[in-house]
Amino acid sequence: MHCPTCESENVIKNGTIHNGKQKYACKDCNRQFVLDPKNKISEEKKELIDKLLLEKVSLADIAKTVGVSEPWLQNYVNR
């Protein structure tokens, strides 16, 4: 399991939300989140990001175009 913001695996269970879904907290960036498959970045999106990176599009523009957060994108680029 990964933090959706910083991709850290350093996440802990942190209670549940109103509808009973498991809530998690990231110990690295302190973000709290609920796992939602809809929020997963698809392979198609990653391919699009790779293409835009090759075209030297700025990270801010890529984040806006593809619909991902800039922290996530920065982390993706760093890998």
Region from 19-27, 44-52, 55-63, 65-73 binding Zn ion, contact rule CB under 5 A = 19-27
Tokens standing for 62? 């890529």
Q: Which is nearer to Zn ion, 56 or 79 (CB)?
A: 79
29 binding Zn ion? (CB under 5 A): yes
> Which residues, in sequence order, are CB contacts of 27 under 8 Å at separation 6+?
8, 10, 11, 12
14 part of the interface to Zn ion, by CB under 5 A = no
Query: Interface with Zn ion includes 52 (CB under 5 A)?
Result: no
- Residue 46 CA to residue 59 CA, distance in Å, equals 13
